[in-house]
Amino acid sequence: LSGDTSPSRHVAPAASSDAFALDKIRLESELRAALDRGELEMRLQPIEEIAGGRVAGYEALVRWRHLQRGDVAPAEFIRLAEETSLIVPIGDYVLERVCEMLAELRRRGREPLPFIALNLSSRQLEDPLLVDRILARLRAHELPPDRLKLEITESLVLDHVRIAALLARCHEEGMHVALDDFGTGYSNLGALLTLNFDQIKLDGSFVRALDTSRGVALVGVVVATARALNCDLVAEGVETRAQREVLQRLGCGYAQGWLVGKPLALAEVLNGN
C-alpha span between 185 and 248 (Å, rounded) = 25
Q: Does 242 bind ligand C2E (CB under 6 A)?
A: no
Alpha-carbon Rg of the chain, whole angstroms?
19
Q: Which does 86 bind (CB under 5 to 8 A by kind): ligand C2E, Mg ion, none?
A: none
Q: Does 57 bind ligand C2E (CB under 6 A)?
A: no
Stretch that binds Mg ion, among 98-106, 168-176, 220-228, 235-243 (CB under 5 A): 235-243
C-alpha span between 32 and 26 (Å, rounded) = 10
- Position among 11, 35, 56, 73 found at the interface with ligand C2E (CB under 6 A): 73
Stretch that binds ligand C2E, among 67-75, 105-113, 187-195, 242-250 (CB under 6 A): 67-75
Q: Which does 121 bind (CB under 5 to 8 A by kind): ligand C2E, Mg ion, none?
A: ligand C2E
Query: Residue 117: which of 207, 252, 234, 204 has the closest Cα?
Result: 234
Q: Does 78 bind ligand C2E (CB under 6 A)?
A: yes
Would you call 215 helix, strand, or coil by DSSP?
A: helix
Other Cβ atoms less than 10 A from the Cβ of 146: the count is: 13
Stretch that binds Mg ion, among 28-36, 96-104, 161-169, 202-210 (CB under 5 A): 202-210
C-alpha span between 160 and 209 (Å, rounded) = 29
Range 83-112, binding ligand C2E (CB under 6 A): 94
8 A C-beta contact, residue 57 and residue 116: yes
Q: At residue 61, what is the residue type?
A: L
The contact pattern for ligand C2E, residues 123-162, with x = CB under 6 A and - = no contact, is ----------------------------x-x---------
Q: What are residue 31's phi and psi, to 5 degrees?
A: -65, -40
Which positions ≥6 away from 21 have C-beta within 8 Å? none
Residues near Mg ion (CB under 5 A) are: 119, 151, 180-181, 201, 203, 236
Binding site for ligand C2E (CB under 6 A): 1-3, 45, 61-62, 73-75, 78, 94, 119-121, 151, 153, 180-181, 204, 236-239, 257-258, 263
